Amino acid sequence: MNYRPRCDQTSAWAALQAHFKAGQPVLRDAFAADPKRFASFSQQAPHVFADLSKNLIDAGSQALLFDLARQCGLEQHRDAMFAGELINSTEQRAVMHWLLRNPASALDKHAPDAIKNVANELTEVHATLEAMLAYAEQVRADEAITDIVNIGIGGSDLGPQMAVLALEAFAAPGKRLHFVSNVDGDELAGVLKRCKPRNTLFLIASKTFTTTETMTNAQSARRWFEANGGQDIARHFAALTTNVAVAGEFGISTTFGFWDWVGGRYSLWSAIGLPIAIAIGAAGFRDFLAGAHAMDEHFRTAPLESNLPVRLGLLDVWYRNFHGFTSRSIAPYSSALRRLPAYLQQLEMESNGKRVDAQGNTLPFATSPVLWGEPGTNGQHAYFQMLHQGTDVVPVELVAVKKPAHDLPAHHGKLLANALAQAQALMLGQSDAGGHRHFPGNRPSTFLLLDELTPTSLGALIALQEHRVFVSGALWGINSFDQWGVELGKVLAKDIEPRLASGNTAGLDGSTAGLLGKLRA
């Protein structure tokens, strides 16, 4: 890869520091002074409208942030990803989850050069997609299968679970989907109580078919299946894995693979998305891919100034490194999107929670914020107190849907009114009251709006979030596509597990040894 300067090594970074020190906008005054502020700081992207006008930015800071992006070579780094270059430098891998969303027609003579560079991979993608969708339709048509249990963890769980819940209005009747990730047996046991072997299909999602939590759950599921009269493991178990040989030893003959250029947190577009395809059908899954592809094309081709993932990613850098905000709260005003905050936690914090740059140098600035949240009206009665009157300023990202998927009267108007009111209250505050009733206001928020929550719009929303994470990671000069931080705890757990049986505490620190003793007592 060509050298790209890190954000703090650019002249734009110094200019942004000076701009920040000169003072930041008071949003109430900014709207009063500029009747066109809403138009200037909002935009329509594919299937997602974004209002950024209640953020602590002005024309000057926005222009400097675009300068920063250019000086950091953001466009070149983006183009390298879309060309299939090995931008995951620590693992020497391409990053091509976007290819999973490309239609087969992208191979025609008018295809961009970037697609032509990865034509063989795209052919493989569509062969696997066709096989996976055919299997999904087969399961949907099988009246004997009423329960589908997806066993996976991390990206093999969070993305599919979030999407299946979000698209429940499009789900096939007569099919119940369950998700098991935790190695805590209570989770699996709770699911199995609601299932019967002859009516259950287990999907084992593990790229290597060796993931400890997933394989522990898979083996317990197989024992339960056999102990309760289940027959024909090959019919009732399928694997989403590249390790076909080990899956075969388990008794599984139906497998769907994916590639090393698909990171776990970006894998719901691959065979890992099989539970989504079973829930919403082949046509729905193609719509899901199409929505994401539309956002890919927007990110790939739109000028920086009108590129929504870029604008969001730059805003994230502005807040993290200049304002010093340490977290971002996600408030979906849609019960169907209730797992979106958990999904985004992995997407952003596993991608950008890094302390060294791509060359291994310790960073002198902060990277990923902490992401957290709950569905909006629930959050209002829990943690919004802190958002409005707490000592920390926390940018809030509200996600709303214009048209509901239900026909219950009066509900949706109240829901949308609350979303608008919270964003307004965060910005305006309440200055004419003292003491406990004083709201400082000038607290930033972003408002993302979907016309409807459909497979297409959800695909676009997820791809938007993926690309904004790419943008901030690119400016910070980090590798957003590895996750070495998850490894150390796994290694230590393998050492500790036999000690729980033997009681051997040799070489352990005092705290771990003491806790081990308590657990054995």
Beta strands in 360-476 (DSSP E): 370-373, 396-403, 445-452
Q: Which two tokens stand for residue 4?
A: 């790209």
Instruction: With CA atoms as reference, report the closest residue to 119 among 93, 99, 97, 94.
Output: 99
Tokens 């992401």 locate to: 371
Name residue 351's amino acid: S
Q: Catalytic: 350?
A: yes
The one catalytic residue in 36, 193, 381, 436 is: 381
Is 48:450 a contact under the CB 8 Å cutoff?
yes
Report how far residue 351's alpha carbon sits from residue 334's, in angstroms, rounded to the nearest whole number.
Answer: 26
Report how far residue 165's alpha carbon sits from residue 158's, in angstroms, rounded to the nearest whole number.
Answer: 11
Report how far residue 57's alpha carbon sits from residue 26's, in angstroms, rounded to the nearest whole number.
Answer: 10
- CA atoms within 13 Å, Cβ hemisphere of 278: 29
347-381: b (≥16 Cβ within 10 Å) or e: bbbbbbbbeebbeeeebeeebbbebbbbbbbebbe
Structural Rg of the chain based on CA atoms: 24
The one catalytic residue in 350, 374, 397, 466 is: 350
The one catalytic residue in 116, 402, 414, 490 is: 490
Nearest-5° angle of CA 2, CA 475, CA 84? Answer: 45
Report how far residue 60's alpha carbon sits from residue 15's, in angstroms, rounded to the nearest whole number.
Answer: 10
For 177-245, what is the HEC assignment? EEEECCCCHHHHHHHHCCCCHHHEEEEEECCCCCCHHHHHHHHHHHHHHHHCCCCCHHHHEEEECCCHH
Do strands 396-403 and 327-333 pair parallel, antiparallel, or not at all (unpaired)? parallel
Q: Catalytic: 137?
A: no
DSSP, res 368: P
Q: Which two tokens stand for residue 323?
A: 């304002």
Q: Catalytic: 414?
A: no
Report how far residue 389's alpha carbon sits from residue 440's, in angstroms, rounded to the nearest whole number.
Answer: 7
Report how far residue 447's alpha carbon sits from residue 228's, in angstroms, rounded to the nearest whole number.
Answer: 50
- Sign (positive/negative) of CA torsion 366, 371, 376, 379? negative
Active site residue ranges: 350, 381, 490
